[in-house]
Amino acid sequence: MLQTNNLGFIGLGVMGEPICRNLVKKSGAAVIAFDLSPEPVARLRAEGADVAGSVAEVVDKSEIVFLCLPSAKHVRSVFEGDGILKNIRAKQVVVDLGTSSVKQTRDFAHRLQARGASWVDAPIARTRQAAQDGTLSVMVGAAPELFAAIEPLIRCFATDVTSCGDVGAGQVTKILNNMVLFQTVNALAEAVAVAERSGVDPALLLDTLSKGSADSFALRNHGIKAIVPGNFPERAFSTEYALKDLSYALELADDAGIKIRGAELIGKVLQEAIDAGSGEAYFPVIAKHIEGR
């Protein structure tokens, strides 16, 4: 592990707060946290975290800074201005836990490298409960020696930690994971809609599919726990966030000169759900907007 007595954490949302809490409890380091919302800051302060008043203060007081922010736009906002780039020091490491643009990731890594610092992409996967339990899956883009140094810290909140390659490779892997997930959830939504219209109980359908070749994590979680009961809460992984992540996959495919028709189609499905007023709802809400449901 990197020799550090001070960790920074920026972004205490649905996933960031429990991840930061696990670092406070398990890392053995002092953790200084920052978020624009006072409620999670207060909760973490009560559990032993220090609190910063700005991004600049987090960078100033930390050797390793974790980011857990909603999108590339939010990451850019803490990188620029009186943020990471202006205040970074040589040998510091920034670990981005969000799903973000590969181009931006590699650009930020290049700019930090010029300052003697490092950028690591380590996007997280799995659920809010997994974040609370410390059982996330993390896909890391970093040089092998840097991966080896930060892996013990990541294992404070993750049970599956994969070295995917150099900077940006973690984002590529996570983006494609999400692309496959969205298309799978759409297939499940369509299957449930057809089953209902054809006189087959959706719960029975998915339970039966889970015993055969159509089984998947998406079926057992998004299908059985969200689509069948119609449970699409806010403050979960929203339709707008899903479309944002899909846009990164489409950008990757365009750069590679590959036409990904299935991804293009699910992009239209997500946009239709957003246009119908479900942008902030948990993204399996696309099932609600299939004709006949």
Which residues are tagged catalytic? 174
**Three-class SS of residue 109?**
helix
- 70: nearest Cα among 28, 26, 13, 148: 13
Residue owning tokens 């909603």? 70
- 134: nearest Cα among 24, 224, 4: 24
Q: Are strands 136-141 and 124-125 parallel, antiparallel or unpaired?
A: antiparallel
The Cα–Cα gap between 25 and 216 comes to 33
Tokens of 261: 């028709």
Q: Distance between the two ends of the chain, CA-based, in angstroms?
A: 52
**Three-class SS of residue 2?**
coil
Chain centre to alpha carbon of residue 154? 14
Burial code (b: 16+ CB inside 10 Å, e: under 16) for 115-125 equals: eebbbbbbbbb
CA-atom Rg of the chain in angstroms: 20
CB count in 10 Å sphere of residue 262: 13
Contact 243, 273 (CB under 8 A): no
DSSP 287: G
The Cα–Cα gap between 179 and 268 comes to 13
